[in-house]
Amino acid sequence: MKIGIIADTHTKVKKAKRAIDTLIKDGAEFMLHAGDIVDVEVLHLLKESGLRYEAVYGNNDAHLSQFHNQFNLVQEPYYFKLSNTTFKLMHLPFYMTPDTDVVIFAHTHEFSVEFTGNTLFLNSGEVCARNKPLSEWAMLEIKDDEFVVTRYTRANKSDEIKKEEFNYIREKQ
């Protein structure tokens, strides 16, 4: 299963659309937004993508609570299971315990991926390109014996989207 992951879109709807469209083109079957959605239009993009999705509230998303029942908005930490894999989705990196197979977080605006003790910790970085002149997002492919993470980056004012792949061997328990 391929899961598209975006976070920290803030007010950059066009950048969010580019990230979502790229993930769909590359085979995403499910989408996650790790918070700081900010603009309700990003929720519309997720809903209109035709994919199942979850979006967690970020520290800048309180105003979106009025749309809670209209979109798949959840509070952190949000636990779920997908493709025989347990997940914890959050915005703030406060619940960083390895109590699931995959921990997805955001807030720092920095891409990071670490595989420790059979748990994958993943921050897809910032779509909004606020802290650096670079928009970034990720794809997580779940295989029986492996996690494959693809980091996507696009420099501002560029049409080129670069990809970098990270592979982690899973030990099934």
What percent of the chain is modeled with pLDDT above 90?
98
Partners of residue 89 on adjacent β-strands: 78, 104
Give the β-pairing of 30-33 and 52-56: parallel
pTM for this prediction = 0.97
The token pair that represents 16 in the structure block: 């969010």
Q: What is the pLDDT of residues 45-68, one digit of tens each?
A: 999 999 999 999 999 999 999 999
Whether the pLDDT of residue 172 is over 80: the answer is: no
- Give the model's pLDDT for residue 28: 98
Q: What is the pLDDT of residues 124-163, one digit of tens each?
A: 999 999 999 999 999 999 999 999 999 999 999 999 999 9
